[in-house]
Structure 1
Amino acid sequence: MTAPVQCSLDRGSPGPILTRAMVATIVAACGAMVGFYLLLSVVPLYVADGSGSGSGAGAAGVVTGALMVSTVAAEVAVPALTARFGYRAVFVLGLVLLGAPTMALAWSAAVPLVVGVCLMRGAGLGIVMVVGTALAAELVPAERRGEGLGLYGAAVGVPGILGLPLGLWMSEHLGYTAVFAIATACCMGALGAAIALPTNRPAPSGARGGVLGGLRTGALARPAVTFAGCTLAAGVVVTFLPLAVSSSELTLVTIAMLVQSATTPAAGWWAGHFGDRHGHARLFGPSIAAVAIGVALLARPADPVTVLVGAAVFGAGFGVAQNVTQSLMFERVGPHDFGRVSALWNLAFDAGMGIGAVGVGVVIGATGYPAGFLGTGALVLAGLVLVAVDRRGETVDAPPARTPLPPA
């Protein structure tokens, strides 16, 4: 194992993206995210199977919501924790919380037990996501930050490509306990890579109001709130698409999840490369429109072609939206605020998913799945209003954007 590496924040000239520190960050984060994605759609299905047909959708929404609520709560605290204990120590804590409680799920599908496990796992997820994103932003040259964030997003998206469909497949063919055991092993195994993470303690942000104070700044709030609408749709898709499709068509859900999971990181990496050269704001509106159209297409769960096309469009839009909102927010602050921006962006990510799982779950219980998907698409599309305001207000309350790289 290599010795601990210190972050290098020299931005004098564009340099390589894949430094030792960046590779260590990617490997550790990937291990954690395999454990997360394997269970993302499996746990709601597990609880729904054990709750009876009358309350399955509601129980599934509650456990996903619990995961996201604790994730959000942890994300708010991460910048202060890293300033006190350093990146590596806090990341290790996140891995332990994400992995260690998982095997308790094998004991029972009772909602209180599953909610308790999800609360602990959510806290670990919040830590891993905030620390990983902040490091990815710090470890690459400013002129290549969009591409670096895209590469990091693509790398940690690979577990989603494999984990979402594989978790569903394994739950059907190997049983839930096998999925829980493998997810635990992945998270705990990532501790080996975490030893090589940078040990820096970033300077505390001097901004008023902490993480949530960023919502007072329009240049940060607009991308964050708009992206939360996209993640609301993601929460609906991962929680309710497996339930909306007939149980005899679980293979269709597995393929759709694979399509969505594959297009998301690929689109995000492309968006970072494009944005560094032509400006990230150009892709803001199109990405939101694609997310809305994609989730609306899923309102026909009985049509396999429509489901697969919807999954592809949704995945592409979601990947571009991830990179665009991250890049815009990071380029509007200085390095001392990277931790706060990372926490705010990840908070938007997980708050949106939680609201989608719980809030839309209540609506779906009354209206059915097609109306729930269509309503979600309309809600996402409303975010184009904030996109239009952002383009007009960017020069008012945000620092000047850096000069884009010339086209390759």
Structure 2
Amino acid sequence: MTTDLRTRPAARTGLVSRALLLRFVSIVGSSIGFYLPLSVVPLYAEQAGSESGAGLATVALLLSTVACELVTPRLIARLGYRWALALGLTLLGAPTIILTMSDDIRVIVVVSVVRGAGFAIAAVAGGAVTALLIPADRRGEGLALVGIVSGVPSLLALPAGVWVAAHWGFAPVFVMTTVATLLALLPVPCLPRRAAAASAGDHHGVVAGLRDPTLTRPATIFAASTAAVGVLVTFLPLATSGRPAWVAASALLAQPAASTLARWVAGRLGDRHGSAFLLVPGLVLSAAGMAAIAATGTPAAVIGGALVFGLGFGALQNATLTLMYARVPSGGESAVSAIWNAAYDLGMAAGALGAGLVIASIGYPLTFVLTAAAILPALKLAHRDRRP
């Protein structure tokens, strides 16, 4: 008896290739390079006698990141993925060692600006090449896997940086950041050189993407939640400074842990049912979590709020990026990576800057409440974006 081959279900495309495994190494390195000192540098600036420097360092890092992200596709078109990614990792890691020699706020800001440029280049170049290495029919799941690979180091690095600084001082944090990031350069020569299609100057570029509402809506929705991340990572250690050190460390561990789990679940659900339906739940959970964190005197509320916020944020990470990649033709990966990463970092910068301007007058609890409220207007965009 013969078997009709047409009745057989199509085999699923393999997800993990050798090239993707090598890409994971640079993902881990850039995650450590960004997150390990992220909450430590504001503490370092404050200890040096600059209270305003805490927010200024984060804002400088993120504004530099956004500015460079939007021009990185042109850099990729000239240099290719390998050289662009190598340049980004070098700028992200190498300048950090300078902070072991000086705590001058001007030095801190300059280092933050250079590191921001490095992270922008590494994130956009790396994100674009990652998209090329993931099969289109498993994009949600593939991005979820990438989220785990990047999320686990950030999950560990963010609270670890605070813990190491509290117990051993700031210098070990800065040395470990430099070493881990530069080691990530080793597998870069094995990655693809450049995309076969589309350069930054064509109709799939950043400028065209910023004019496309099908891309800017999910990017804006994501930015609403990343603004809350900027407030959380910059000011939570300061808001809980009167509490045991484990409170801030636990909250900063709970948030990325929950985000990593949510990204995986969202990726699986998004491939089966579409990612747009995850936008509203993601925003609601994000707002609820930030509102709970406002109870800064209650460790359970702070840690639980960070956990709930992380679930919403992780769902939005996967859903928005998957939607954006699905809405551009082949060759538009660099533009999507640039716009999405810019939304990530511009949102974080806006959150840190806005909170820094009002915290002195209204206090930490009310600032967290206002941050939660600022997420809710994005629900209108989420309802409009339920269809691709």
Please classify the TM superposition score into its range, dividing by the shorter chain length.
over 0.9
1:164 matched residue in structure 2: 158
Q: Deviations over 1:69-107 (max 9, x none)?
A: 111111111111111111111000001100111111112
Match of 1:225 among 214, 220, 223: 220
Alignment equivalent of 1:36, drawn from 11, 34, 37: 34
CA distance in 2, matches of 1:96, 1:359: 30
Pick aligned residue for 1:215 from 210, 214, 227:
210
Q: Indicate yes or no: 2:105 matched with 1:111.
A: yes
1:20 pairs with one of 18, 21, 36: 18
Measure how far apart 1:13 and its partner are. 7.3
- Segments of structure 2 that go 5 or more residues without pairing to the other structure are 1-9
State which of 45, 50, 53 in structure 2 corresponds to 1:59: 53
Q: Equivalent residue for 1:140?
A: 134
The whole-number CA distance in structure 2 between the counterparts of 1:205 and 1:384 is 32
Match of 2:250 in 1: 255
Matched, 1:332 2:327: yes
Q: Distance in 2 between matches of 1:169 and 1:310?
A: 20
**Whole-Å Cα distance in 1 between the matches of residues 117 and 43 of structure 2?**
21
Give deviations 1:348-384, integer Å, cap 9, x for gaps.
Answer: 0000011111122101122111111000100111110
Q: Do the aligned residues in 1 keep the contact of 2:92 with 2:116 (CA within 8 Å)?
A: yes
Partner of 1:404: none
Matches of 2:119 and 2:45, distance apart in 1: 20
1:91 corresponds in structure 2 to: 85
Look up the SS of the partner of 2:192 in the other structure: coil
Q: Does the Cα contact within 8 Å between 1:85 and 1:201 map onto a contact in 2?
A: no
**Residue 82 in structure 1 maps to residue 76 in structure 2:** yes
- Taking the aligned partners of 1:368 and 1:65, their CA distance within structure 2 comes to 19
1:45 aligns with 2:40: no
RMSD of aligned residue pairs (Cα, Å): 1.5
Q: Is the 8 A contact 2:204 2:328 kept in 1?
A: no
Indicate if the aligned counterparts of 1:47 and 1:60 stay in contact, CA closer than 8 A.
Answer: yes
Structure 1: how far apart are the matches of 2:208 and 2:106?
33
Match of 2:174 among 180, 183, 208: 180
Structure 1: stretches of 5+ with no match in the other structure: 1-11, 399-408
Is contact 1:294-1:310 (8 Å) kept?
Answer: yes
Q: Tell me if the contact between 2:255 and 2:307 (Cα under 8 Å) persists in the aligned partners.
A: yes
Taking the aligned partners of 1:156 and 1:146, their CA distance within structure 2 comes to 15
Write out the 4+ residue segments of structure 1 that deviate beyond 6 Å after TM superposition.
none
5 Å-filtered alignment, 1:293-304, equals 293-304=288-299
TM-score scaled by structure 2? 0.94
- The count of residues paired between Structure 1 and Structure 2 equals 378
Q: Please, which moves more after superposition, 361-370 or 208-217?
A: 208-217
Q: Which residue of 2 aligns with 1:6?
A: none
Q: Which residue of 2 aligns with 1:234?
A: 229
Which amino acid letter does the alignment assign opposite residue 137 of structure 1?
A: A
Indicate if the aligned counterparts of 2:204 and 2:335 stay in contact, CA closer than 8 A. no
Worse-matched range after superposition: 211-220 or 71-80 = 211-220
